[in-house]
Chains A and B, each alone.
Chain A
Amino acid sequence: MTRAIAHVDMDAFYASIEQRDRPALAGRPVIVGADPRGRGVVSAASYEARAYGVRSAMPIGRAARLCPQAAFLPVDMAKYRAVSLEIMAILADFSPLVEPVSVDEAFIDLTGTEPLFGSPLDAVRLIKQRIRRDTELTASAGLAPNKFLAKVASDLEKPDGLVVVPPGGEAAFLAPLPVERLWGVGRVMGRELRELGVTTVGQLQRMPRAVLVRRFGRHGEDLYALAVGRDDRPVEPFEDPKSMGAEETYGTDCRDPERLRATLRGQAERVAAELRDGGFAAARVTLKLRYGDFETLTRSVTGEPTQDGLELYRRALALLERLGVSRPVRLIGLAASHLGPPGRSQLGLFDADVARRERLAAALDRLAARFGDGTVVPAALLSRRARRG
């Protein structure tokens, strides 16, 4: 059966939200990300900033040199997540099969929705209208017989684009595109393909499949399938997250154990809040540490499932202490995995204060929902900030 899959991708999502909320920024280059004097990265750049060559994931310092006049804003994840929920709710009105890929993009399977919304193309137009009307933001969309093509299509005419790949037109649609557009073709494979004289997908389509398989093994098969626009993966509405985490790069490499602990404490609280928000408890805690020379270590420990920030911190701290920090640290992070339902039904012998902490966490979550993340933080973090500030 021919499917109708749409990929909806918000345009410069974080930056557009900031421009929407601060009219003075409309039409100006806006860069959302780390402190421009520091060493973090760009999370999102408005189209005005992209004109200067600023891209997401670029070191923020470089972005500041390329576009010094830009407005630099910190990442306000709580706000973006709230907008994201609005958008996902709109998509859910059009099909039960919505697969969020990240906060600002999702696949929607519109197959069989004609009686409700007319042709899939009409449905996508309606989706874009609803998003614009309800959130004052624009989205680009691709409509195609599968996920891969829909994703390629949504990217072609950004911002506010709408590109349709009709059934039967898959190969013709892909032919003029550079091979790097294909999933799995990175720098290395791109170079190898160029050595074979292949730069466009069209040239790849004309290669005998056997040659690709011989050269790239099983990847060759996948490559060929993608080149002719074949992709059978279904739109999967609920994919439970595998892990939740937080990490931070220091402005200058950190050798202060107290500061490492404070960072970890804050991360533990944030990850715990995210776990509670998603209704999960994590059995595994992983500590990630990157030294100034980029050597990166991870250590994990598995125990009773928890969604308690202090407990996550305790476990991460034990890992940190066992690891023994030997040099200045560039990055530290904490991740929670092996997620499952919180097993709060078993009472503990020695946790007289666990019930108290659970109530406390619930209260803090409500405060954060109302006033924003970080409204209330552990005193250990506060004193740290006060001292620095």
Chain B
Amino acid sequence: MEVVLDRDAFLRGLQMVQNIVEPRQTLPILANVLVEAEGETVRLTATDLEVGARVGVPARVASPGAITVSARKLAEIVKELPAAAVALRVGENATVSLRCGGATYKLVGLAPDDFPAVVPATPASWVTLDARTLREMLAQTKFAVSHDETRYALNGILFTFQGKDVRLVATDGHRLAISMRSLGTGVGGASGIVPRKAVNELERVLGAGEDVQIAITDNQFVLQMPNFVMTARLIEGQFPNYEAVVPKNHPGKLVIGRSVLAAALRRVAVMAEERNKPVKLTLAPATLRLSASSQELGEAEEILEVEYAGEELTIGFNSRYVLDAISAVEKDQVVFEFKDGLSPGLIKTVEDEGYCCVIMPMRI
């Protein structure tokens, strides 16, 4: 194999796949990136057997071929190279020589034969949406993904395609975030839990404008963009019946500016106990009183004039959960709905824009 690539394009390509490589691998070859040269493209592939990605980088291919080399070292090298042409050549015994300007490297490679193939499924249908929308939906749900490794089914985002709706749902058992968008066309019917790692990678690779295609098959999530494909094995397991816990018709309704609420929460939470940062909300017509206290530290209180319609009530929340939920929307006004001190609170935007977050209270 012998190719010449543009350093900047090479680096961009590497950065799109390199993060998939785990710092510690079960198989040595999984530390490597597969480099394949054919036609006018160099394809770079990385996988950890769960998540895989492949990117195409334009190149001058003098002779086609394939090799694998350490993903981390290759990215480190290319990052330091000047913006110039990079020449790659595979020599005897899977040695890779790399040249750029006056710098030369010899890398110990591994034959490509043992590299686990990244095979995107061929779905019956693709869902097309623009990258910005998908990014937004990920941001509106990702924070609620569970880090509790004992609850596998919650360690990812549930993607559901139904009718014309694309819906993303995440929960850690304490709060639940739903992001929904209606597309102009039918999206078929499919659903699957996409693991957190794949979600993180998605956020990294999604650009600002272009359209992307996604699909869910029996066991795989696939994302396609020009010159890029990513696959992720779906999490096996039963996602909880989330629709049952989304409150309907809560009588208490608080309308408040997102930044006002966030700032007050942060100020009061300074005095809250560290682990769960509990803050008590006391609602009365036109006022919201936030308070926190800790036996060792002291207490804090803040009173806001607000639009609140409903009965007086007191409810406690982990303030981080509320902050996460309101940070996920762009519009400033949010609606916070309540029933009583032990029922979940519901946060959404003023005009229903396909986002809501359900938060269970704390006993305070």
Chain B residues, Cβ within 8 Å of A351: 173
- B82 at the binding interface (Cβ < 8 Å): no
A349 touches B358 (CB 8 A): yes
Across the two chains, which residue of chain A brings its CB closest to B363?
A: A345
- A302 at the binding interface (Cβ < 8 Å): yes
Comparing B134-142, B146-154, B257-265, B348-356, the segment that makes contact with chain A is: B146-154
Chain B residues, Cβ within 8 Å of A346: 174, 276, 318, 360, 362
B174 touches A348 (CB 8 A): yes
A344 touches B363 (CB 8 A): yes
- A184 at the binding interface (Cβ < 8 Å): no
Q: How far is the CA of A346 from the CA of B241 in the complex (A)?
A: 20
A345 touches B276 (CB 8 A): yes
Report B149-190 CB contacts with A as 1/0, cut-off 8 Å: 111100000000000000000010111100000000000000
Chain A residues, Cβ within 8 Å of B364: 345
- A318 at the binding interface (Cβ < 8 Å): yes
Report A337-364 CB contacts with B as 1/0, cut-off 8 Å: 0000001111111110000000000000
Across the two chains, which residue of chain A brings its CB closest to B275?
A: A343
Q: Max chain B CB contacts within 10 Å: which of A302, A315, A346, A348?
A: A346
A301 touches B149 (CB 8 A): yes
Chain B residues, Cβ within 8 Å of A241: none
Partner of B360, one of A301, A314, A318, A347: A347
- A115 at the binding interface (Cβ < 8 Å): no
Known A344-B363, A345-B276, A345-B363: A350·B173 in contact at CB below 8 Å: yes
Q: How far is the CA of A285 from the CA of B167 in the complex (A)?
A: 34
Across the two chains, which residue of chain A brings its CB closest to B150?
A: A303
Across the two chains, which residue of chain A brings its CB closest to B151?
A: A303
Chain A residues, Cβ within 8 Å of B278: 345
Q: How far is the CA of A348 from the CA of B148 in the complex (A)?
A: 14
- B52 at the binding interface (Cβ < 8 Å): no
A305 to chain B, nearest CB (A): 10
Partner of B245, one of A301, A344, A349: A349
B275 to chain A, nearest CB (A): 7
- A304 at the binding interface (Cβ < 8 Å): yes
A349 touches B171 (CB 8 A): yes
- B313 at the binding interface (Cβ < 8 Å): no
B176 touches A349 (CB 8 A): yes
Known A347-B360, A347-B363: A315·B150 in contact at CB below 8 Å: yes
Partner of A349, one of B173, B316, B342: B173
How many positions in chain A have a CB within 8 Å of any CB in the partner chain?
Answer: 17
Partner of A318, one of B150, B174, B276, B362: B150
Chain B residues, Cβ within 8 Å of A301: 149-150
Q: Which residues from 256 to 314 on chain A have a C-beta closer than 8 Å to any C-beta of chain B? A: 285, 301-304, 314
Q: Which residues from 299 to 319 on chain B have a C-beta closer than 8 Å to any C-beta of chain A? A: 316, 318
Across the two chains, which residue of chain B brings its CB closest to A319?
A: B150
Q: How far is the CA of A379 from the CA of B289 in the complex (A)?
A: 49
- B56 at the binding interface (Cβ < 8 Å): no
Chain A residues, Cβ within 8 Å of B174: 346-349
- B344 at the binding interface (Cβ < 8 Å): yes
B240 touches A350 (CB 8 A): yes
Chain A residues, Cβ within 8 Å of B149: 301-303
Q: How far is the CA of A343 from the CA of B278 in the complex (A)?
A: 12
Across the two chains, which residue of chain B brings its CB closest to A302?
A: B149
Q: Which residues from 196 to 232 on chain A have a C-beta closer than 8 Å to any C-beta of chain B? A: none
B189 to chain A, nearest CB (A): 24
Chain A residues, Cβ within 8 Å of B245: 349-350
Across the two chains, which residue of chain A brings its CB closest to B171?
A: A349
Across the two chains, which residue of chain B brings its CB closest to A315?
A: B150
Q: How far is the CA of A346 from the CA of B321 in the complex (A)?
A: 11
Chain A residues, Cβ within 8 Å of B171: 349-350
Chain A residues, Cβ within 8 Å of B363: 344-345, 347
Report B189-212 CB contacts with A as 1/0, cut-off 8 Å: 000000000000000000000000
- B361 at the binding interface (Cβ < 8 Å): yes
Q: How far is the CA of A344 from the CA of B245 in the complex (A)?
A: 20
Q: How far is the CA of A343 from the CA of B342 in the complex (A)?
A: 16
A347 touches B175 (CB 8 A): no
Chain A residues, Cβ within 8 Å of B176: 349
Across the two chains, which residue of chain B brings its CB closest to A300?
A: B149
A300 to chain B, nearest CB (A): 10
Q: How far is the CA of A301 from the CA of B275 in the complex (A)?
A: 20
Chain B residues, Cβ within 8 Å of A350: 171, 173, 240-241, 245
Q: How far is the CA of A97 from the CA of B275 in the complex (A)?
A: 31
Across the two chains, which residue of chain B brings its CB closest to A306?
A: B150
Report A58-102 CB contacts with B as 1/0, cut-off 8 Å: 000000000000000000000000000000000000000000000
Q: Max chain A CB contacts within 10 Å: which of B152, B174, B344?
A: B174
Across the two chains, which residue of chain B brings its CB closest to A305?
A: B275
Report B273-287 CB contacts with A as 1/0, cut-off 8 Å: 001101000000000
Q: How far is the CA of A344 from the CA of B361 in the complex (A)?
A: 11
B150 touches A314 (CB 8 A): yes
B173 touches A345 (CB 8 A): no
Report B94-120 CB contacts with A as 1/0, cut-off 8 Å: 000000000000000000000000000
Across the two chains, which residue of chain B brings its CB closest to A348?
A: B173
Q: How far is the CA of A318 from the CA of B152 in the complex (A)?
A: 10
A345 touches B362 (CB 8 A): yes
Chain B residues, Cβ within 8 Å of A345: 276, 278, 316, 362-364
Q: How far is the CA of A285 from the CA of B150 in the complex (A)?
A: 10
Across the two chains, which residue of chain A brings its CB closest to B364?
A: A345
Chain B residues, Cβ within 8 Å of A318: 150, 152
Q: Which residues from 12 to 59 on chain A have a C-beta closer than 8 Å to any C-beta of chain B? A: none
Chain B residues, Cβ within 8 Å of A303: 148-151
Q: How far is the CA of A341 from the CA of B152 in the complex (A)?
A: 25
A365 to chain B, nearest CB (A): 20
Chain B residues, Cβ within 8 Å of A304: 148, 150, 173
Q: Which 5 A-B pairs have the closest CB atoms?
A: A303-B150, A303-B148, A347-B360, A345-B362, A345-B363
19 contacting pairs across A/B (C-beta < 8 A)? A285-B150, A301-B149, A302-B150, A304-B173, A314-B150, A343-B276, A344-B363, A345-B276, A345-B364, A347-B174, A347-B362, A347-B363, A348-B173, A349-B174, A349-B344, A349-B358, A349-B360, A350-B245, A351-B173
Known: A304-B148, A346-B318, A347-B360. 18 other contacts (CB 8 A): A301-B150, A302-B149, A302-B150, A303-B149, A303-B150, A303-B151, A318-B150, A343-B275, A345-B364, A346-B360, A347-B361, A347-B362, A347-B363, A348-B173, A349-B171, A349-B175, A350-B240, A350-B245
